[in-house]
Amino acid sequence: MSNLKNNDNEETEEDSDKTLKSRRRFLSASAALSGFAVAQNSVGALDNPLTVPQWSKEPGAATNKNPYGQPSSFESDVVRRTRSAPNPPGVGSSLTPLQDLEGIITPGGLHYERHHAGVPQIDPDQHRFVVHGLVSNPKIFTIDDILRLPSVSRIHFLECSGNSGALWSDQPTLASARIPFPVQAIHGLLSCSEWTGVRLSTILEQVGVSKTAKWFLAESADSAGMTRSIPIDKAWDDALVVYAQNGERLRPEQGYPLRLLLPGFEGNTSVKWLRRIKLSTEPFQTREETSKYTDLLPDGKARQFTFVMEAKSVITYPSPGHVLSGPGFYEIRGLAWSGRGYIKRVDVSIDGGLTWKQATLEGPRLSKALQRFRFPWTWSSSPAIIQSRAIDNTGYVQPTREQLVAVRGVNSNYHFNGITRWEVNADGTLKHIV
């Protein structure tokens, strides 16, 4: 997809700074005027606000009740949800509740899943990882061998190439009624973690890669024999062989005891339960890169080896499933990401894309990681259409659905990165619109 330029009516960074300063002054004044009213309302909501609640009168649960810490019972709805479509045993996915998360790190228990043959239960002491093919010194690694090598930790997002795929249709079927939050239903095949492991380049240096090697095959130990061909340049760049996630060893559904991680590439290339890498001069043309994970174009040709997940964003709050309690100030919040690098800017529109204003980027600016953004909004209770677009450090601008369809048609199930639009109704409810 070629670079798509901004609209002429976008707000400049200088205008944005002036607007933000004005908003800050307005909010400070509003807070001073409304603070007493808020306090009065809080007092009125309780018979006696200084009454000691029951939970402060008795000891809490024993510290050893849950040897592995658990979320509060009041957060029991913050869970992965599975798609409703029937699948053969072991085949399917579960989606991350992005609308309920804070920051950019996805807890291990909420990271999305995609399996082709279920989750194998692998004994790490018995597992072996082989590197062979166009190398001078083929090697077999145990997990202990990998753990001895120099380690690195990196924060990166992982996104399934089928994420948001329903939006290729102008009348999308949004997962199931069991997923009441369209952010999760549409975009939930996306997560971000701190990954710890060994640079693949460190391992390849040990086996002596032939100068003729241009591709490598990554193969899984699951019963599907999941395999993908990857250009060798990615191995020398930032590919990792990972054994830990968010400070603990990989969970079984995330590839325990060993997985490949290819930052910024489509999720299926980051092969889980990694057992083999083979180097060659050509791609291997496996099932997953011929009959799957390709994009059929209007002229009958297919885009193959579409590795990079292009710049994308989504507003997570407010979004469908949330209800605005009444007119007034709300902070629009969301996530942006790019497989080519870091997010340089996010624009937000509250009028369906007629005008755009620059959002504030929150937290660290990391390459190939999620980026939080926020934008101040005063809702008048009139209908509105809110949306965001991401611009990465290469200058690529997140396209509209119409721009994508004009180039690629509507026959694909993969690699949709068009702008998502939420319609805000006068009663405070929200819904997805194409």
Kindly state the tokens that stand for 333: 């919040």
Q: Domain map of the chain by residue range?
A: 89-303, 312-433
Measured between alpha carbons, how far is 136 from 132 in angstroms, rounded to an integer?
9
Measured between alpha carbons, how far is 216 from 235 in angstroms, rounded to an integer?
9
pLDDT computed for residue 48 by the predictor: 78
pLDDT computed for residue 67 by the predictor: 86
Of the chain, the end-to-end C-alpha distance in Å amounts to 20
Q: Are 167 and 420 in contact (CB under 8 A)?
A: yes
pLDDT computed for residue 87 by the predictor: 67
For residue 385, which of 350, 354, 418 has the smallest C-alpha distance? Answer: 350
CA angle 113, 116, 119 (to 5 degrees): 65
CA angle 183, 408, 353 (to 5 degrees): 50
CA angle 370, 376, 381 (to 5 degrees): 120
Cα–Cα distances in angstroms (integers) from residue 94 to residues 72, 191, 312, 323, 325, in the given order: 21, 11, 21, 25, 30
Return the CATH number of 89-303, one of 3.40.50.720, 3.90.420.10, 3.40.630.30, 3.30.1370.60. 3.90.420.10
For residue 163, which of 301, 303, 310 has the smallest C-alpha distance? Answer: 310
Kindly state the tokens that stand for 214: 């241009």
Averaged pLDDT in 10-residue chunks for the chain of 434 residues? 42 43 40 38 58 87 81 93 72 93 96 94 98 98 98 98 93 68 94 98 98 98 96 98 98 98 98 98 95 92 95 98 96 98 98 98 96 98 97 98 95 95 97 93
Other Cβ atoms less than 10 A from the Cβ of 48: the count is 7
What pTM did the predictor assign? 0.88
Q: Are strands 227-231 and 215-220 parallel, antiparallel or unpaired?
A: antiparallel
Q: Are 161 and 415 in contact (CB under 8 A)?
A: yes
pLDDT computed for residue 86 by the predictor: 60
Q: Are 275 and 260 in contact (CB under 8 A)?
A: no
pLDDT computed for residue 128 by the predictor: 98
Which residues is 195 bridged to in the sheet? 154, 245
* Amino acid code (one letter) for 180: P
DSSP conformation letters of 120-186:
----TTT--EEEEESBSS-EEE-HHHHHTS--EEEEEEEE-TTTTGGGGSSS---S-TT---HHHHH
Sign of the Cα pseudo-torsion (306, 118, 193, 315, in order): positive
CA angle 202, 206, 212 (to 5 degrees): 95
Q: Are 242 and 309 in contact (CB under 8 A)?
A: no
Burial of 82 (0-12, 13-18, 19+ CB in 10 A): middle
Return the CATH number of 312-433, one of 2.60.40.650, 3.40.50.1820, 2.40.128.690, 3.20.20.70. 2.60.40.650
Q: Are 431 and 328 in contact (CB under 8 A)?
A: no
pLDDT computed for residue 54 by the predictor: 87
Q: Are 140 and 129 in contact (CB under 8 A)?
A: yes
pLDDT computed for residue 89 by the predictor: 72
Cis omega (within 30 of 0) on the bond before 257? yes
For residue 397, which of 93, 3, 1 has the smallest C-alpha distance? Answer: 3
